[in-house]
Amino acid sequence: MSDCLELEKRKARSEFLSMRNRLDSASALARSAAIFAAVKKLLLYEQSNTLMIYLSYGSEVITDFIVKSAIEEGKNVIVPAIKNPGDLRMQAVRIIRLEDANRLVYGIRQPEVNSDDVVSKDSIDLVLIPGLAFDLSGYRLGYGKGYYDRWLKDISLSKTVGLAYDFQITDKLPIGKLDLPIGAIVTEQRIIQTIN
């Protein structure tokens, strides 16, 4: 990645993280609930048996609602996890209840990675993805470690949905060759389909 591109990404990360961190907890909760309601109406969600959901961290869109509801509905709920700090490979791990994700790695909740609970990518119907920012073409800006870009490279675009507050949407993000777009973005105000 060129120094210029990395500098642009670092600047965008800082700006969007700062905006997201300024959101008060009551607003974050209300907006996250609206995003959850919109996700539940997606045909992709309704038809999914197995979905992968990130466990919210810091000021990200709160996903506990979705996790608990999906488990109550009898869906297989998968969360991202890494076996050890420093691992570059993210795994998809099944949980039975939210409390199973009681281990912190980089401050992010996750379950222990046991081979019995690791799920193959091709069995996942829907992947809900976090980001610091998303653009109208479906590109996302993460924290810069590349976990999702590496993991998503074998996943159909049509199965991927980003969750964001509406102020995290921008016309165009700085992107590199390894950055991958996603199929749709859900905010508290709209659903953006990036593929037809």
CATH number at residue 28: 3.40.50.10420
Please answer whether residues 5 and 158 qualify as being in contact, where contact means their C-beta atoms are separated by less than 8 angstroms.
no
Range of the domain at 165: 3-193
Number of domains, the chain: 1
Q: What is the pLDDT of residues 30-44, one digit of tens each?
A: 999 999 999 999 999
Distance from C-alpha of 110 to C-alpha of 121, rounded to nearest angstrom:
18
In this prediction the pTM is: 0.94
d(CA 165, CA 103): 27
Q: pLDDT (tens digit, 9 = 90+) per residue, 122-152? A: 999 999 999 999 999 999 998 878 889 889 9
